[in-house]
Amino acid sequence: MPNTFSRLPIMKLSATGNDFLLVDLLKPAHRELWKKEWSKKPRATWVREWCHRQEGLGADGMVFLEKDKELDFAWDFYNSDGSHAEMCGNAARAVSLYAGQALKKSKLQFRSIVGPVNAKISALKKNAGQVEVRLPKIAENEWNQLIEWKGAKLNYDFVRAGVPHAVVRVPNLEERAQLREFALEIKRQPSFIKHGTNVTFVRLLSNHKVGSLTFERGVEDFTLSCGTGAIASAHSVLRGEEDQPVEVQVPGGTLRVVWKDGYPYLSGPAKIVAEMHLCR
């Protein structure tokens, strides 16, 4: 019997190496297809299956675009393990690129768990462009938190940049095995057991230039880029005195973080990679 493919498209997006799947439920035909073909299981189940790197389509997370009465759209965002996340900076940029093309708009505003997100798309070329998003203000920070590890007392900063980040300054970002071990130790701390945390390692390169590497909650591994991690890194290095832009180098490219009126703005490249149709 030949394979039957769903007519509902699944989009693959990327933003500095952070990759995402997207289902566009803004269109009535797509909503009808989702209801008919995929609604018998919870969304989180499909997210886990489709984001799987070997047996699925592969992605760090997945987004469902939905209608909103006031804004351009609302999003329902999931990590690759099926858990909800309050925010994802790179997903916000990638999704805005797609929605901007679909809605034929260069400026957007969409609804998230942590509040409205503004986006501006520029340098658009084919299916790629520069995208800047204004994310919610830093909700919480705690400097110089202590942790004992292998007989030594080490420090990290806690920064809630939409999602929680434990930010650790390190001399280099190359010792991945050791950094992974330390990230897992931080995630085992009592204050993080219930809700978890991202662990972002940052290396100061100059006054307003840093390297950043994040062990992401919900992915449970290092990713090529983390937008909220870039913001948390910049906030930690500047100690809240956000008077100049910060260039953040991540494994997947370069991001720029700047504060305006207390809001962090995250900018960098994003692209639409593919449209796919699943077997059903």
226 is a catalytic site residue: yes
Do residues 131 and 15 make contact, with C-beta atoms less than 8 angstroms apart?
yes
Do residues 94 and 253 make contact, with C-beta atoms less than 8 angstroms apart?
no
The Cα 117–Cα 77 span in angstroms is: 13
Q: How far is CA 46 from the centre of its chain?
A: 19
β-sheet bridge partners, residue 148: 153
Eight-state DSSP code of residue 257: E
If 0-12 CB within 10 Å is exposed, 13-18 middle and 19+ buried, where does residue 5 land? exposed
Among 65, 105, 251, CA closest to 230: 251
The Cα 146–Cα 143 span in angstroms is: 9
Among 59, 81, 16, CA closest to 229: 16
Backbone angles phi, psi at 147, to 5 degrees: -140, 140
The Cα 277–Cα 150 span in angstroms is: 49
The Cα 48–Cα 261 span in angstroms is: 38
Token duo for residue 207:
């006054």
**Residues in the chain, how many?**
280
Token duo for residue 172:
């280099």
279 is a catalytic site residue: no
Q: Which of 11, 33, 47, 88 is catalytic?
A: 88
Q: Which of 166, 219, 224, 226 is catalytic?
A: 226
Enzyme catalytic residues: 88, 226
